[in-house]
């Protein structure tokens, strides 16, 4: 998986929301990110193509509902990315204390 995939703050926000909710609907993602349908769909499509997220569609009260979940590989990759970012931040903070 490409590190560039997580380089987008928007995608990091989308993935964080999916992680925190353990699955989230398109409508909720749109509301919580403030993205347009097209912009959100574009980011979701990229994450799905890369195997980071999976899509589940079902009907609730005769209305279609699309939900997004992290794949096992996607969860591992995202958590590794976050861990790497924590290490970088820690190193920067320690560097500022010594500087």
Task: Count CA atoms closer than 13 A to 27's CA, side-chain side.
Answer: 5
Query: What digits encode the pLDDT tens for the residues 35-75?
Result: 999 999 999 999 999 999 999 998 889 988 899 999 999 99
Nearest to 75 by CA among 30, 7, 9, 20: 20
Dihedral sign of CA atoms 79, 84, 90, 96 in order: negative
pLDDT value at residue 22: 80
Report percent pLDDT > 70 for the chain: 95
Domain range annotation of the chain: 3-94
Query: What digits encode the pLDDT tens for the residues 33-45?
Result: 999 999 999 999 9
How many whole angstroms separate alpha carbon 21 and alpha carbon 24? 6
pLDDT value at residue 85: 92
Which residue's entry shows tokens 């353990």? 22
**Which CATH class for the 3-94 domain?**
mainly alpha
pLDDT value at residue 2: 57
């Amino acid at each position: 998986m490409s590190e560039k995939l997580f380089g987008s703050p928007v995608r990091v926000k989308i993935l964080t929301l999916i992680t925190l909710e353990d699955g989230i609907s398109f409508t909720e993602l749109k509301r919580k990110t403030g993205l347009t349908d097209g912009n959100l769909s574009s980011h979701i499509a990229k994450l799905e193509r890369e195997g980071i997220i999976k899509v589940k569609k079902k009907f609730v009260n005769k209305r279609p509902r699309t939900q997004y979940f992290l794949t096992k590989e996607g969860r591992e990759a995202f958590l590794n990315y976050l861990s790497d970012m924590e290490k970088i931040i820690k190193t920067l903070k320690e560097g500022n204390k010594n500087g």
